[in-house]
Amino acid sequence: MEKLSINACPVCGCTHLKRVMTCTDFYASGEQFELYSCDGCSFTFTQGVPVEAEIGKYYETPDYISHTDTRKGAMNNIYHYVRSYMLGSKARLVAREAHRKTGRLLDIGTGTGYFSDTMVRRGWKVEAIEKSPQAREFAKAHFNLDVKPESALKEFAPDSFDVITLWHVMEHLEHLNEVWGRLRELLTEKGVLIVAVPNCSSYDAKRYGEYWAAYDVPRHLWHFTPGTIQQLASRHGFIMAARHPMPFDAFYVSMLSEKHCGSSCSFLKGMYAGTLAWFNALGRKERSSSMIYVFRKKR
């Protein structure tokens, strides 16, 4: 199997890289993968992951909720409940940050289509992209959405979108710098790019270490902090206009992390750890389990 070998940091270009920990794929294979970080900017990434053409099997599990929409188990039921609340919250955030109630929106990595459907219902003209054929079929069957494969990102005309969203997608994309360059081309001059990613400098990431569920190797290639994603955005002609914590993520991630640790009562222990993480991030949103970043083009 061909694997991705990273010899230079994709954020700053530094070639001085060091191993920081070994993480396990708890979802699909049980395999172990190494996490490396850059000596120059501290950006962290998964080394030696299967290349894009071969990584598909690591998503082929009924437990991978963003592709299957499973309700199996208490934690996935909680995920559905929180998602219902967050869909409205995300829609309001888009309207607020874009300074408009409707417009042209591109949702990359739409999964089973819930967010795209929400925005269509609110009057937005939506294009959606998703890698998984199974998830695209679900979106068509349940929401009548014509979701495009990832190759469509190259086919849109420049200045096509007022808003581009990636909800927990950026960490999966192999061609990181290519994608950022393309996003800048596709946005209108006053458009906004909204990116949600896990935060590996969060309280819960520090608490759980190699068992932190949001490392999610090998599906997550890149592990961002507020500082490293801001540096990456600047490299591609963006400025960070706002950042927002995602407080609910700490509970879900902590419950999964407890499960990875082999804890008994992982639900209760995860709720306790999530509560600690939530309090820890109060007033210090840069320590939130996940963050939403809003970027605009530099002028």
Between 40-49, 72-81, 94-103, 222-231, the lowest mean confidence (pLDDT) is in 72-81
What is the Cα–Cα distance from 111 to 85, expressed in whole angstroms?
Answer: 17
User: For residue range 7-57, what is the model confidence (pLDDT) as tens digits?
Assistant: 999 999 999 999 999 999 999 899 999 999 999 999 999 999 999 888 988
Using one digit for the tens of pLDDT, what is the confidence trace for 4-21?
999 999 999 999 999 999
pLDDT at 73 over 50: yes
pLDDT at 65: 45
Percentage of the chain modeled with pLDDT above 90:
82
pLDDT tens for each residue of 182-216: 999 999 999 999 999 999 999 999 999 999 999 99
Domain boundaries, the chain: 1-64+187-298, 75-167
pTM: 0.92
Q: Where are the beta strands (DSSP E) in the chain?
A: 3-4, 17-24, 32-38, 44-47, 49-50, 104-108, 125-129, 161-167, 187-198, 222-223, 238-245, 290-297
Percent of the chain with pLDDT over 70: 93
**Above 70 in pLDDT, residue 75?**
no
Give the per-residue pLDDT at 39: 97
pLDDT tens digits, one per residue of 211-263:
999 999 999 999 999 999 999 999 999 999 999 999 889 999 999 999 999 99
Token pair of 41 as six digits: 């900017």
Residue-level pLDDT at 188: 98
pLDDT given at position 67: 45
The yes-or-no verdict on residue 76 having pLDDT over 70 is no
- Judge contact between 271 and 196, C-beta under 8 A: no
Pick the CATH number of 75-167 from 3.40.50.300, 3.90.1150.10, 3.40.50.150, 3.90.550.10: 3.40.50.150
CA distances from 37 to 1, 7, 10, 43, 179 (A): 24, 11, 11, 5, 21
Average pLDDT value over all residues in the chain: 92
Residue 196 has phi, psi (to 5 degrees) of: -110, 130
Handedness of CA 107, 278, 71, 216 (dihedral sign): positive
